[in-house]
Amino acid sequence: MAEPGRFGGTCVNVGCIPKKLFAYAAHYREEFEVAKSFGWSVGEPRFDWKTLLANKDREIARLNGVYEAALTRAGVTILRDRATVIDAHTVEAGGRRHTATHILVATGAWPQVPDIPGRELAITSNEAFSLPALPRRALVVGGGYIALEFASIFNGLGVRTTLAYRGPRLLRGFDGDVRERIGEELRRKGVDLRLEANPARLEPGIRVTYEDGGTQDVDLVMFATGRRPNTRGLGLEAAGVKLDADGQVAVDAYSKSSVDSIHAIGDVTHRMNLTPVATAEGMWLARTLFRGEPTPVDHADVPTAVFSDPNVATVGLTEETARRSHAALDVYKASFRALKHTLGPAEERTFMKLVVDAGSQRVLGAHMIGPDAGEVIQGVAIAVKLGATKPQFDATIGIHPTAAEEFVTMREKVSQA
């Protein structure tokens, strides 16, 4: 294994793990307010950014060690250098050449900043995990997972936060109701959400000029506008490996590239950029290559979560996608204030939705906005993956009082077509 950086990839070092830790930190401010409605009285809360950074760094260093120890125990030879592909069976790392029957490319992706004047004044999520100090005012640009998560983090930590997105609704590819409602919830939390707004220029200061001519002064601009696969300079094309237009390794259902002996998994390919998906792709590839069990990659009904505030989680088909592939649907929705918020002034609303095939009554998709949505949808995902029907959901006894029980108590269809 050739790895010039820290073990664990994007997720452990500049992705899911530190992001989730930051999301926990950001949510405490609201928790202190909620506690008051339950009779708790505490002093004025104070937040120390450097304490969070130090504790986060310690945990990531621990995880780096765990990964390295696991590799060593498994007998893996570790090359602490960047590898380049020489040919179908040869790589070069640290000035030495190594041959193998199979080569696996799992080099991930890197955040990109649009080519606009002043782009060097902006940061990406990579740098956001090690800022020397929190800004007073921050602009986050983008409408996907990372943008929503960091807008929520900054806002929760007391930063005056603007989220600007060039499109009319956030979270492209998610269910339409979810896309609409998460924008409403972010605004309710205090995020200055600006849709159909795209920065055209940054100037020292930092002054942001938008494409429509409007301006805004902030202390930090963070772009979360996409990631590009790390394939540049790897020697893949010279070795005959076909890359897509965006530089992603083109692979088949078994993660094989255009060269039989070279495979690719994870964010470096044109598939789902999710850590558990990359892990599963590696496991499926191992079965294919070394167990004699050809196992195609299965990207159907993959659950996912956006750790914004509130959380978003989903599994299966959106209503829009389901309507294109199914003759008729039954759609169920629920929106309510969680019990936790009923004693205080919080206006946050939990939203749940089931998309059901009208003929077979199979649940095609489940969607949620609300606290711990990822924890809830993970369990629902098992049912969706197994092809559970709406009557089977209905026959399941709910745990009361929980938000999750709503998924087995929704009875009134909101639409049928």
CA gap 314, 365 in Å, rounded: 7
Band of residue 395 on the pLDDT scale cut at 50, 70, 90: very high
How confident is the model over 42-66, as a mean pLDDT?
Answer: 96
CA gap 259, 310 in Å, rounded: 44
Superfamily name with CATH number, domain 119-225: FAD/NAD(P)-binding domain (3.50.50.60)
| pLDDT confidence of residue 175 | 98
Query: What three-state secondary structure class fits 99?
Result: strand
Torsion of CA 210, 150, 52, 127, to 10 degrees: -60
Band of residue 321 on the pLDDT scale cut at 50, 70, 90: very high
Band of residue 417 on the pLDDT scale cut at 50, 70, 90: low
Is the pLDDT at 254 greater than 60? The verdict is yes
Distance of CA 151 to the CA centre of its chain: 14
Which percentage of the chain shows pLDDT scores above 90? 98
| pLDDT confidence of residue 415 | 67
Tokens describing residue 106: 């799992």
Residue 6 Cα distances to 94, 136, 169, 218, angstroms: 17, 31, 36, 32
How confident is the model over 163-187, as a mean pLDDT?
Answer: 98
DSSP H or E stretch at residue 51: helix 49-73
Does residue 106 contact residue 224 with C-beta atoms inside 8 Å? no
Query: What three-state secondary structure class fits 37?
Result: helix
E strands along 129-191, which residues? Answer: 137-141, 160-165
Q: Using the Cα atoms of residue 78, residue 82, residue 98 and residue 259 in order, give the sign of their dihedral.
A: positive
How confident is the model over 253-270, as a mean pLDDT?
Answer: 97
How confident is the model over 255-284, as a mean pLDDT?
Answer: 96
Band of residue 43 on the pLDDT scale cut at 50, 70, 90: confident
The residue written with tokens 């649907």 in the block is 329
**Which residues have a Cβ under 8 Å from the Cβ of 306 and sit 6 or more positions away?**
145, 148, 149, 171, 182, 312, 313
Average pLDDT over all residues of the chain: 97
Is the pLDDT at 245 greater than 80? The verdict is yes
How confident is the model over 390-395, as a mean pLDDT?
Answer: 98
How confident is the model over 233-254, as a mean pLDDT?
Answer: 96
Catalytic hit among 89, 102, 367, 400: 400
Same fold, 9-110+228-290 and 119-225: yes
Does residue 238 contact residue 198 with C-beta atoms inside 8 Å? no
| pLDDT confidence of residue 248 | 97
How confident is the model over 406-412, as a mean pLDDT?
Answer: 96
Which percentage of the chain shows pLDDT scores above 70? 99
pLDDT digits (tens, 9 = 90+) for 196-236: 999 999 999 999 999 999 999 999 999 999 999 999 999 99
Domain parsing of the chain, residue ranges: 9-110+228-290, 119-225, 310-416
User: What single-letter DSSP state applies at residue 398?
Assistant: P
Q: In the annotation, is 299 catalytic?
A: no
| pLDDT confidence of residue 42 | 82
Whole-prediction pTM: 0.96
Q: Work out the burial of residue 63: count CB atoms within 10 Å of its CB; fewer than 13 is exposed, 13-18 middle, 19 or more buried.
A: middle
How confident is the model over 113-131, as a mean pLDDT?
Answer: 98
Query: What three-state secondary structure class fits 57?
Result: helix
- Phi first, then psi: what are they for 50, rounded to 5°? -65, -35
Going by C-alpha positions, the residue among 196, 123, 208, 211 that lies closest to residue 165 is 196
Q: Domain 310-416: which topology?
A: Enolase-like; domain 1 (3.30.390)
E strands along 125-198, which residues? Answer: 137-141, 160-165, 192-195
User: What single-letter DSSP state applies at residue 77?
Assistant: P
Is the pLDDT at 150 greater than 80? The verdict is yes
pLDDT digits (tens, 9 = 90+) for 325-365: 999 999 999 999 999 999 999 999 999 999 999 999 999 99
The residue written with tokens 């740098």 in the block is 127
Choices 3.55.50.30, 1.10.10.10, 3.50.50.60, 3.40.50.300: CATH for 9-110+228-290: 3.50.50.60
Is the pLDDT at 135 greater than 70? The verdict is yes
